[in-house]
Amino acid sequence: MPLANPSPVSLNHPHSDSVASVADDDNIPKKSRGPTDFVKIESMVQLAIALPAACLIGWLAGNAIDKHFHTTWVGLVGILFGAVAGFIQIFTTASRILNRGK
């Protein structure tokens, strides 16, 4: 009399009753990202864009003032003010990210 074939064991199903498919739920890869991951990514992109954008805005404002008053030095001051504003934005964003992790 032939032995009956047991049903095939699914190794991919984490809640199977068989011994061969015992797996921790932590080892199962998560396929979808939560909204917190996208918020972290957005914050990192904001850090990368803050300084160049602030310098560009400061330079554009300085050049506009230069053309209006027929000077040549205000554009440089605008870049410096933009750099200071960019660093302030980077520090506040970085501290917010670090405090969120605590």
Give the pLDDT of the chain (102 residues) as one tens digit per residue.
555 555 555 555 555 555 544 445 556 555 556 677 788 888 888 889 999 999 999 999 999 999 999 999 999 999 999 999 999 999 998 888 888 766
- So where are the chain's domains? 34-100
Q: What is the pLDDT of residue 72?
A: 92
Contact in structure between 9 and 21 (CB atoms under 8 Å): yes
CA distance 35 to 24: 24
Phi/psi class of residue 70: alpha, beta or left (left: φ > 0; alpha: ψ in -120 to 50)?
A: left
**Angle formed at CA 73 by CA 70 and CA 65, multiple of 5 degrees:** 50
Q: What is the pLDDT of residue 94?
A: 87
Q: What is the pLDDT of residue 1?
A: 53
pTM, 2 dp: 0.60
* Angle, helix 74-100 to helix 35-69, in steps of 10 degrees: 170
CA distance 34 to 18: 31
